[in-house]
């Protein structure tokens, strides 16, 4: 129990206590920030709860109503509760320029039908110096005509029934308690708001869908729609305190020991625009992942303005990014009961150059060369047998041309050898 926020329900269990000494830390992230809508930590000795550091959100001149605001400081529970308490201190600067409708200053994001971080419950800074706080429930299919008349409406606006206002430049303590109704028609949902310890909104008969609170934020939105800021101004937050009297997260059991996904890619880099794959490492124990990709400068809500707002089983998602743009994106691991773990986020910048087309992973091979052509067989040349030569003419009988007798005496022999030779001719 917090002594600083005395209207916290009895028996509540602390979820988070954030003095806002840093933009990121103690489980908080900054999911909606740019150089133009910059969140900073500044010193303010007048901070009522935890001086001197306070969170400052800048609203620049030229900001168009409904297109964002000062920042996106966000805390995910790692579980989901059917009731929640949020306490914080807020002030405007002395020169605050209010939107004609309101400025959204705080959210209880909800899980509905397995989809986390939906934008259904928010507090608005309304009026124009002095200011007051109203509560809003954005739902189109729940009948609360007994409260406001007319049947189901897109946004149920709960204005204060007891006056408690505050002036520009003055700190105001805000305490907010929500509990979903037992059924969609049971008329026992609760929404209470205290401003400086005065109970200004005390609704105990509202109908809600089956929503459970999974995160809170100071994602500020100037508007409403329409109007343009004519001068720069600031909002300041001192401390944010979150608790629940439920004790056990929806779905039973202790909060799951999931960790934030790591190795987000692309993260904090500039890449060509076009088909972009966002990926992260798997988380042990996760059954799915809640992914949100938001183009900086577009309205944070409705969800149709987001590049991605899905819960999926895989660890990557491919989307088409635009040239010369920034995208803040983040991902949570989700357990089998639908409870979310802490998130990891990154800011991606695209260049004016497109992503080159990827190489064809299965290129068509060149056709094989034609098989060699076998020439038609050539008949061998005919074999020509030469005619047999004419037989030689018959030779005449040789004639004896003469006879000679030769006597040869062999040495050492007594008897001579007599040979007779004849000569023929024609």
The 8 Å CB, 24+ separation contacts for 369-372 are none
Q: Would you place residue 107 in the very low, low, confident or very high pLDDT band (cuts 50, 70, 90)? A: very high
pLDDT computed for residue 203 by the predictor: 93
Percent over 90 (pLDDT), the chain: 42
Residue 91 has which token pair? 């002030």
Longest Cα separation, the chain: 183
- What gap in Å lies between CA 15 and CA 331, rounded to an integer? 20
Query: Omega before 396 cis (within 30°)?
Result: no
pLDDT computed for residue 162 by the predictor: 92
- What gap in Å lies between CA 125 and CA 176, rounded to an integer? 13
Q: Would you place residue 254 in the very low, low, confident or very high pLDDT band (cuts 50, 70, 90)? A: very low
Query: In this predicted model, which residue has the larger pLDDT, 287 or 415?
Result: 287
Per the DSSP assignment, residues forming a β-bridge with 202 are: 192
On whether the CB atoms of residues 297 and 67 are closer than 8 A, the answer is yes
On whether the CB atoms of residues 315 and 282 are closer than 8 A, the answer is yes
**Count, residues in the chain:** 426
pLDDT computed for residue 424 by the predictor: 54
Instruction: State in Å, rounded, how far the first CA of the chain is from the last one.
Output: 159
- Is the model's pLDDT at 97 over the cut of 90? yes
pLDDT computed for residue 252 by the predictor: 38
pLDDT in tens, 346-379: 888 999 888 666 666 666 677 777 777 666 666 6
* pTM recorded for the entire structure: 0.61
Per the DSSP assignment, residues forming a β-bridge with 321 are: 274
pLDDT computed for residue 260 by the predictor: 78
Q: What is the DSSP letter of 148?
A: H
Contacts of 358 (CB under 8 A, 6+ apart): none
Percent over 70 (pLDDT), the chain: 76
The closest alpha carbon to 342, from 352, 331, 328, belongs to 331
- β 211-219/103-112 pair status: antiparallel
- What gap in Å lies between CA 173 and CA 175, rounded to an integer? 7
Query: In this predicted model, which residue has the larger pLDDT, 1 or 293?
Result: 293
- Is the model's pLDDT at 47 over the cut of 90? yes
pLDDT computed for residue 250 by the predictor: 45
- β 340-354/270-279 pair status: parallel
The closest alpha carbon to 42, from 70, 11, 83, belongs to 70
Q: Would you place residue 255 in the very low, low, confident or very high pLDDT band (cuts 50, 70, 90)? A: very low
Q: Would you place residue 113 in the very low, low, confident or very high pLDDT band (cuts 50, 70, 90)? A: confident
- What gap in Å lies between CA 31 and CA 328, rounded to an integer? 6
The closest alpha carbon to 123, from 236, 219, 241, belongs to 219
Residue 281 has which token pair? 């490492």
Query: In this predicted model, which residue has the larger pLDDT, 10 or 383?
Result: 10
pLDDT in tens, 71-87: 789 999 988 999 999 99
Average pLDDT over residues 236-264: 72
């Amino acid at each position: 129990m917090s002594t600083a926020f005395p209207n916290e329900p009895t028996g509540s269990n602390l979820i988070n206590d954030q003095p806002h000494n840093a933009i990121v830390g103690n489980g908080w992230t900054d999911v909606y920030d740019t150089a133009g809508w910059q969140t900073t930590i500044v010193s303010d000795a007048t901070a009522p709860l935890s001086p001197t550091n306070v969170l400052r959100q800048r609203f620049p001149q030229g900001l168009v109503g409904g297109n964002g605001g000062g920042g996106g400081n966000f805390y995910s529970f790692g579980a989901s509760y059917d009731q929640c308490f949020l306490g914080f201190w807020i002030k405007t600067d002395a020169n605050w320029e209010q939107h004609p409708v309101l400025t959204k200053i705080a959210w209880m994001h909800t899980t509905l039908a397995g989809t986390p971080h939906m934008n259904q419950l928010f507090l608005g800074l309304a009026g124009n110096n002095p200011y007051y706080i109203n509560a809003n429930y954005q739902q189109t299919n729940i009948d609360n005509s007994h409260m406001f008349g007319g049947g189901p409406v897109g946004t149920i606006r709960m204005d204060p029934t007891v006056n408690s206002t505050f002036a520009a430049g003055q700190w105001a303590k805000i305490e907010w308690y929500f509990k979903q109704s037992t059924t969609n028609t049971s008329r026992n949902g609760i929404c209470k708001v205290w401003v400086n310890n005065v109970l200004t909104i005390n609704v105990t008969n509202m109908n809600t869908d089956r929503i459970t609170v999974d995160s809170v934020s100071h994602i500020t939105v100037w508007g409403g729609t329409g109007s343009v800021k004519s001068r720069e101004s600031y909002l300041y937050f001192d401390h944010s305190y979150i608790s629940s009297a439920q004790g056990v997260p929806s779905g039973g059991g202790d909060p799951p020991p999931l960790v934030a996904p790591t190795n987000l890619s692309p993260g904090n880099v500039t890449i060509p625009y076009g088909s972009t794959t966002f990926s992260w490492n798997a988380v042990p124990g996760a059954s799915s992942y809640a992914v949100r990709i938001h183009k900086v400068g577009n309205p944070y809500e409705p969800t149709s303005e987001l590049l991605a707002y899905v819960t999926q089983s895989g660890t990557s998602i491919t989307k088409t990014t635009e040239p010369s743009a920034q995208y803040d994106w983040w991902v949570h691991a989700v357990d089998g009961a639908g409870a979310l773990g802490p998130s990891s986020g990154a800011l991606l910048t695209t260049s004016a150059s497109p992503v080159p087309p990827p190489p064809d992973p299965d290129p068509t091979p060149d056709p094989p060369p034609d098989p060699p052509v076998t020439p038609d067989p050539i008949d061998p040349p005919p074999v020509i047998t030469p005619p047999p030569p004419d037989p030689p003419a018959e030779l005449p009988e040789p004639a004896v041309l003469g006879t000679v007798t030769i006597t040869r005496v062999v040495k050492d022999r007594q008897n001579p050898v007599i040979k007779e030779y004849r000569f023929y001719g024609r």
